[in-house]
């Protein structure tokens, strides 16, 4: 009963009535999906690494500018 009342509060019938079960992926489809996921994560890692290097270079410039001339 609690579950039904929560569904009535948070979801409407049309929001979950059109959800259909999906078939399991075959080997080729699973491989393609995995490769796509790896591409996205690799792009994110590359972006963060570039940002890290930029921050490191900026910190190095600040350090050399603040260092007293001897």
Q: Are 25 and 33 in contact (CB under 8 A)?
A: yes
pLDDT at 6: 53
Residue 55, pLDDT score? 97
- The pLDDT score that the predictor gives to residue 14 is 62
User: Which residue numbers in the chain have pLDDT < 50?
Assistant: none
Cα gap 16→34, rounded to integer Å? 27
Residue 63: burial class (beta carbons within 10 Å; 0-12, 13-18, 19+): exposed
* pTM exceeding the 0.85 threshold for the entire prediction: no
* pLDDT on residue 11: 60
């Amino acid at each position: 009963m609690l579950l039904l009342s929560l569904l009535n509060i948070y979801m409407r019938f049309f929001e979950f009535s059109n959800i259909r079960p999906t078939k399991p992926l075959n080997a080729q489809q699973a491989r393609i999906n995995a490769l796509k996921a790896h591409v996205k994560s690799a792009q994110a890692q590359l972006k963060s690494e570039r940002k890290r290097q930029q921050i490191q270079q900026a910190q190095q410039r600040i350090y050399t500018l603040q260092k007293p001339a001897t």
